[in-house]
Amino acid sequence: MPSLEHITNIIHDWLNNTFSPFWALLFEFVIVGTCIIGLFAVLGLVLIMMERKVSAWMQLRLGPNRVGPVGMFQTVADTIKLIVKEGMTPNGADKFLFNLAPFIAMIIAMVVMAPLMFAKGFQIWDINIGVLFFASVSSVSVIGVLMAGWASNNKYSLLGAIRSGAQIVSYELSAGFAILAIVILTGSLRVSDIINSQADGWWIFKGHVPVWIAFIIFLVAVTAETNRAPFDLAEAESELTAGFHTEYSGMKFALFFLAEYVNIFVVCAVGATLFLGGWQPLHFGTGTKFNEIMDYIPSSLWFIGKTFFLIFVIMWFRWTFPRLRIDQLLNLEWKYLLPISMFNLLLVTLIAIMGWHF
């Protein structure tokens, strides 16, 4: 079976041999864009179905089980409903910004995927500042939320947007420090270098306790950044109806909904890349029989398996912990996570300088 790297090389060579460099590059852009849009659609269907099944399993319920085999087509039915539903624009809203906000959310989610390595040699853009690119572009997502909340001319939407802005800006600091821990150990911001540094063992295993601390802080911080429960104060149904997207309906609401789940996939993919080796198989040392057996599993399956494991953990958070108050949420970041992250960064730096990691 040909690998994904082999398939991409065949397409690249054929385009360059058939067309001029300009048209070959343009067609590659079109193919990549089409694949990303298709991936978005599949991720939306799969992750929403997974969310419902996980919540049902944790609450001893059946979940969707009517539309299609074991309810598999329930999300397809929901998608059709949202497509045919009328998109309303409230009176007094800033129509341009109101309509632009969902597209901002989706575009940022698409752009953030560029440095991700989905399998061995299968990456859109191996930029030399891949981790910095992810951290900087993902932070722009708050603009779409603020834009939607302000342009809706609704007090609930505005309150949700303000909460989301404070929340995302706060928890980005802890997430950034957790990412920096791996950057210090690796000595590179390039995603491919970070993955290759884990060929003889994932950083979660060979980085000692500070990497475990960074990993836990990263999971908590990205859960808050994606407005997921128990940090979903921006969309608190019991207080703010639906928060910043209260006034949205039809496909505009669907774009916000889809962007949330795609962002969950992206942050979990980044976590799998930094701490769990990305597409790298589970290796202990070099040249062992165990490593040879692990190499038989395709690299794409390793990446997908690790990413969906982290997605399951984030969904587990939602159905385990109650929603925090806004003061509790900010206290958790500024009084606990941030000081721990800063001290942990010093420990990681010491380990990297002394060479104490495996």
For residue 25, the model assigns a pLDDT of 87
Q: Which stretches of the chain drop beneath a pLDDT of 50? A: 1
* Amino acid 236: pLDDT: 67
pLDDT at 303: 93
Chain segment 220-253, per-residue pLDDT in tens: 999 988 888 788 877 666 666 767 878 888 888 8
pTM of the full predicted structure? 0.90
| Euclidean distance between CA atoms 7 and 121, whole angstroms | 10
3-state secondary structure of 66: coil
Task: State residue 219's pLDDT score.
Answer: 93
- Give the separation between CA 156 and CA 152, rounded to whole angstroms: 9
Going from N- to C-terminal start, the domains of the chain cover 1-84, 90-354
Q: Kindly state the greatest CA–CA separation across the chain.
A: 68
Residues 270 and 114: their CA atoms lie apart, in Å, by 11
Alpha-carbon span 345 to 347, nearest angstrom = 5
Give the pLDDT confidence score for residue 1 in this predicted structure: 45
